[in-house]
């Protein structure tokens, strides 16, 4: 599939991925700017902590859908192939480095989950179960995210090896976005959910 046919879907993924749902829902549910409260992140975990479980759950759902939607759309329109991964990465990048927020943004976990659900649902369910188990045990969403993306290449090697390049890129982005969390985990000061 040529790049020319994929470009409109990449542009759409950037537009959708760049919508800061957590920021909007923080204002809606609690009249708070998530960038200046809690961890300062616009993702679901901070929305949950600062604006309540409804805001957190809505943020999680919408952030997941902004990864899933563009991937399903391009697959339906152009069929399977590496271009689907490119569209998914565009949505994740726009979420993490949101143009409307001067290239600040979320950590990419929910949007990445949406992308992976769109390309390999069974492998993604395994990863979601792993993240859930880690968070339920440790009560640390960031630790769950980091350990899950580090396990993702192994899961995809078995279940969907054609997507290893995408999973490796996603793992790199998610770990990069969690640098401060990693420092707090090592120091023993990371917040619990």
Q: How buried is 53 (Cβ within 10 angstroms: 0-12 exposed, 13-18 middle, 19+ buried)? A: exposed
Cβ atoms of residues 34 and 80 within 8 Å: no
Domain ranges across the chain:
3-187
Tens digit of each residue's pLDDT (9 = 90 or more) over 115-161: 999 999 999 999 999 999 999 999 999 999 999 999 999 999 999 99
Distance of CA 126 to the CA centre of its chain: 16
Tens digit of each residue's pLDDT (9 = 90 or more) over 50-97: 999 999 999 999 999 999 999 999 999 999 999 999 999 999 999 999
Beta bridge partners of 98: 104
pTM of the model: 0.94
* Conformation bin of residue 108: beta by default, left when phi > 0, alpha when psi is -120 to 50: left
Tens digit of each residue's pLDDT (9 = 90 or more) over 35-56: 999 889 999 999 999 999 999 9
């Amino acid at each position: 599939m040529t790049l020319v046919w994929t470009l409109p879907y990449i542009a759409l993924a950037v537009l959708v991925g760049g919508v800061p749902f957590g920021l909007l829902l923080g204002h809606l549910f609690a009249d708070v700017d998530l960038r200046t409260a809690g961890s300062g992140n616009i993702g679901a975990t901070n929305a949950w902590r600062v604006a309540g479980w409804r805001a957190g759950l809505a943020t999680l759902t919408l952030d997941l859908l902004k990864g899933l939607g563009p991937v399903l759309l391009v697959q339906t329109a152009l069929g399977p192939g590496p271009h689907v991964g490119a569209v998914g990465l565009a949505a994740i990048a726009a979420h993490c480095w949101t143009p409307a927020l001067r290239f600040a943004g979320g950590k990419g976990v929910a949007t990445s989950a949406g992308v992976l659900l769109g390309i390999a649902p069974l492998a993604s369910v395994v990863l979601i179960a792993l993240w859930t188990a880690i968070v339920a045990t440790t009560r640390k969403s960031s630790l769950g995210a980091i350990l899950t993306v580090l396990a993702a290449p192994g899961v995809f090697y078995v279940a969907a090896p054609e997507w290893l390049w995408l999973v490796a890129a996603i793992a790199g982005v998610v770990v990069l976005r969690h640098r401060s969390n990693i420092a707090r985990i090592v120091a023993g000061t990371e917040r619990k959910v």
